[in-house]
Structure 1
Amino acid sequence: MKDRYVVIDELKHKQTVKELCGYLGVHRSGYYAYLKRKEKDPDQELKRKIKAIYEQRDKTVGYRRIQDELYRQYHLVVNHKKVLRLMQELRIKAIIRRKYVHRTTYEAAVSDGRVAENLLKRNFKADKPNQKWVTDVTQYRVFDEKIYLSAIKDLWNNEIVGYHISRCNDNPLVLETFRKAFETHKEGLSIILCKLF
């Protein structure tokens, strides 16, 4: 009902109050009672607009943003201190959303259990072939394309025991590298599996 009185108040210079009340199905006495209440609180209309903006913005705006929106939406120039005071009277304030904490790829991998235990512990010497293999993926740019080289090195003699090139840096790239290494070093496969399991 209150919203209908607001509409009448905004349109009363275009049509008579009697006609507007008839269109909206309200009594003129109710409208005039609304005007009296409004006179008691001269900021009632401004409060209504502040609350509307606050709701529009999911309750995340403070008085400065509301001040900007009052000008942008209603062309009202209102002092920021007044906006703050009216917000305090309405008991509304910006709800601070919980800040998203960005995790690095490594941190995410650790938390998801995708990072294996560090078995080498920076001991990069091997006593015999196929005892310790290490792998890495390197990106290269060839003209306008990126290609990825995955290689496996035996720490015993620093020999590359397997490699594979792909346009995609993904699991198949690494798995294909291991397949090729195992194909050429079949005797090494059983030794590595024994070490891992």
Structure 2
Amino acid sequence: MVTNLESGGLQNKHILVDELRDKRSVQERCAYLGISRSGYYACVKHKDDDRDEHLKRKIRSIYEERDKTVGYRRVQDELYRQYNLKVNHKKVLRFMQELGMQAIIRRKYIHRTSYETAVSDSRITENLLQRNFTAEGPNQKWVTDVTQFRVFDHRIYLSAIKDLWNNEIVAYHLSQRNDNPLVLETFKKAFEKQKDVARLIVHSDQGYQYTSHAYHDMLPKVGAQISMSR
């Protein structure tokens, strides 16, 4: 489900102010989104991640989203197509080797993406929360969704994960594309930060990103259970 700017929430607006730093001044961004500069400076912590680590996460996202069947040339093409990044093929190859990535040759199959197929493949799961949106400790219940923003004539999608224990944002990812990598990259960030998630329940709607094979492969690998609203 995609929500609009007005329902995005204060935390999401703080994230947007930080991420759109190259678009306008802080004052203009805050004024446009209807929040105070003092509130923004108080709530948002700036982090400058290493560029190579960002690139490696994108490479890993492409590699896993394509079920580990792509080589460095295809990854190079996808970096440009998805992120408008021009990266030397030798650098892509080196990073893939450092990450232990090698293309797996598989038989071709017909990729089914319909809702009926997701149901038959048991990728529409039961509602484990049953409207109980409280938790007794961290990393017990997370909720996630995708919010759409239109800022300065640009459409931006924010995927965010919130811990119901303290309502803090665990991880987020921004993209101009509302696709599977948007959600998968969010959870990669979350699981890199939070290691103890063996008893975690992750709740979402039935959006196509949350019924994808990649999503249903990723969460059980770390011991998390998938919950969906009906």
Could you tell me the TM-score, scaled by structure 2's length? 0.36
Structure in which a larger fraction of residues adopt helix: 1
Could you tell me the TM-score, scaled by structure 1's length? 0.41
Greater Cα radius of gyration, structure 1 or 2: 1
If asked which structure has higher relative contact order (CA below 8 Å, sep 6+), I would say: 2
